[in-house]
Structure 1
Amino acid sequence: MKFLASLKYRIFSKRTIMVLLLLVGTFAVNAQCLENNFAFQSGEKLVFRGYYNWGFIWVAAGEVELSVKKDLFQNKEVFKIKGEGRNTKAFDWFFKLRDTLTCYADAKTLAPLYFDRRTHEAKYDAHHEYWFDYKSNQIRSQIQKRDKPVKLDTLKNKPCTFDILSVAYYVRNLDFSKYKKGDKIPISMLIDNEIHSLYIRYRGLETIKANSGERFECLKFSPLLVEGTMFKGGEDMTVWLSNDDNRIPIMVEAKVLVGSVKGILESYDGLRNTKNSFFKNNKGNLDIAE
């Protein structure tokens, strides 16, 4: 029983950030993929509570915090986007997880310049680093897993390729009014040292209700997932973005190989927009109905 519990929480924890962040054409070479960032600003912080479906019960299993701040990288003005995922302390005694993702993205275009992923799960450690060189149209990678030798590689980059952090903020700035229900929006993503041509399928508008009775009209869509150790692949994830100028992820739900997981926005701070928004203040807490 202890092994099964550990396995279930390992499945939740290992892809928590991926599930919350995978908010997921052809682009011309050197195209500016993002024309205008209207949805977020430096200082924004979002906290999500993660749940794992244990039979018929949703169990609180972890937390993810996303933060953005202005910084300099290679003498360029960037957004430093950081995602930190951790399981609840109640489960540290048999499976301790602390994952950290960091991306430096161009402040105007959100094109990633550097992506760092540090995974600490029980006795498993891995460190992925990627450098985006747009002059040579290449991505250099350095990966080390457990006690194995460092693996160096060079990938041929594709126009408008994002990592799993920068893509979430790019999608928040999409003009969904251009699409109708059922449309596919192409996305190029770097995942585990491979570039994948994926898409998000727009599923229209849907209202999410808070326990307080407050309602949030949301843009609903499903990203195409990459088949692997956690996901079967396909469109088994659903994301709800607030249909206002902040485009905050309100809720994310996905099926994994064993059970399903859910992330629900718990608190927010430093929002860019208070006008034309569901959020009258730039800081607050939510109590979304599960």
Structure 2
Amino acid sequence: MRKLSLFILLLLSSYTISLADFPVGANEKGEHLKYVIHYGIIRGGKASLKIKNEKLNGEDIYHATLTGKTVGLFNTLYKVRDTYESFINPKTLLPVKAIRDIREGSYKRYNEIKFDREKNELTSQRSGVHKVPEGIHDILSAFYFARANHFNSDLVEGEIVKIQTYFSDELFLLQFRFMGYETINSKIGNIKCYKFIPIVETGRAFKDEDDMKIWVSADANRIPVRVQFDLFIGSLRCDLMNFSDFSSNSLLNKE
């Protein structure tokens, strides 16, 4: 249950990286996306991501901070308070540092990872130094990299995007298949979206490889609009509820 809740919360939340136009001059102060998670008709959790320009050791970086938590009945049954951070080089879109702070029920874990691009190594606070493939990502930066480089009109239906990541102190190959276009009736209106199916491990939580689906707006913003999971225990859905930019505090929708 612990690993499942982490995987679900991370994927549906980390896919919310939304600074689609940062490299080409979008709002330089950053943006904020908020999502609500439902299990059937029951509201089970919230996810939020803020991303903005900062400095780390005197260098410009993009700082993405993801938080996810359970609410209501789910919070009583199994309390989750998860935070992920990624510090991303704005030129290469590769992470220089990542933080994972997990609180799920009685389980707690904190880890920091620093990346050495010259040596193709990373240093985990928990497990030490590891040799890794060139261009390795943390899982949060991987979605931003995918959004910036793969979510466009060049996508061919059936194409599989693969990105090598380091997650939970091990190598993890992130893969998702483009399934074409679909219009989603969302909280902020009808939105034409790219539809993706991540390739997941079957047997433990998912019955089939296509039991998880992600819809990303097929426009310049490329904002994740919906994530849906069909699990052994039922269907879980995450929907975009709120968007704002830090410069104007304008909202597409208020909760």
With normalisation by structure 2, the TM-score equals 0.84
1:205-220 equivalence runs, <5 A: 205-210=181-186, 214-220=189-195
Give the greater-gyration-radius structure (CA): 1
Number of the residue aligned with 2:121: 138
Change (3 A) 1:123 1:206: same
Number of the residue aligned with 1:45: 32
- 1:200 maps to a residue whose letter is F
Does the residue aligned with 2:163 lie in a helix, a strand or coil?
strand
Give the distance between the partners of 1:218 and 1:177, measured in 2 at CA: 11
Aligned length: 247
Change (3 A) 1:12 1:267: farther
Number of the residue aligned with 1:129: 112
Q: Does 1:181 align with 2:157?
A: yes
Number of the residue aligned with 1:19: 11
| 1:141 CA drift (Å) | 0.9
Q: 2:85 aligns with which of 91, 98, 102?
A: 102
Q: Deviation string for 1:108-133 (max 9, x for gaps)?
A: 22201111111112221111221111
Q: Deviation string for 1:130-173 (max 9, x for gaps)?
A: 11111211011123xxxxxxxx2322221222212112222221
1:266-285 equivalence runs, <5 A: 266-270=241-245, 283-285=251-253
1:58-73 equivalence runs, <5 A: 58-73=41-56
- 2:98 maps to a residue whose letter is F
Q: 2:216 aligns with which of 230, 235, 241?
A: 241
Give the distance between the partners of 1:159 and 1:234, measured in 2 at CA: 28
Q: 1:115 aligns with which of 98, 102, 107?
A: 98
CA RMSD, aligned part only? 2.9
With normalisation by structure 1, the TM-score equals 0.74
- 1:284 maps to a residue whose letter is L
Does the residue aligned with 1:172 lie in a helix, a strand or coil?
helix
Number of the residue aligned with 1:159: 134
Number of the residue aligned with 2:171: 195
| 1:270 CA drift (Å) | 1.2
Q: Unmatched 5+ residue regions in structure 2?
A: 17-21
Number of the residue aligned with 1:4: none
Give the distance between the partners of 1:62 and 1:133, measured in 2 at CA: 35
> Percent identity, aligned pairs only?
28
| 1:191 CA drift (Å) | 1.6
Number of the residue aligned with 1:223: 198
